[in-house]
Amino acid sequence: MFRAFLLFTALTGCFTVSAKEWLIDVRTAAEYTIEHADGAANIEYQQIVIGAQQAGIEKQDTVHLYCRSGRRAEIAKELLIQNGYQKVENLGSLQDAESWAKTSHLAVATNH
Catalytic residues: 67
Residue 61 DSSP code: S
Distance CA 74, CA 28 (A): 15
State the Cα–Cα distance between residues 107 and 4, nearest whole angstrom.
Answer: 37
Are the beta carbons of 78 and 37 closer than 8 angstroms?
A: no
| Sequence letter at residue 105 | H
Burial of 75 (0-12, 13-18, 19+ CB in 10 A): middle
**C-alpha to C-alpha distance for 42 and 31, rounded to whole angstroms:** 10
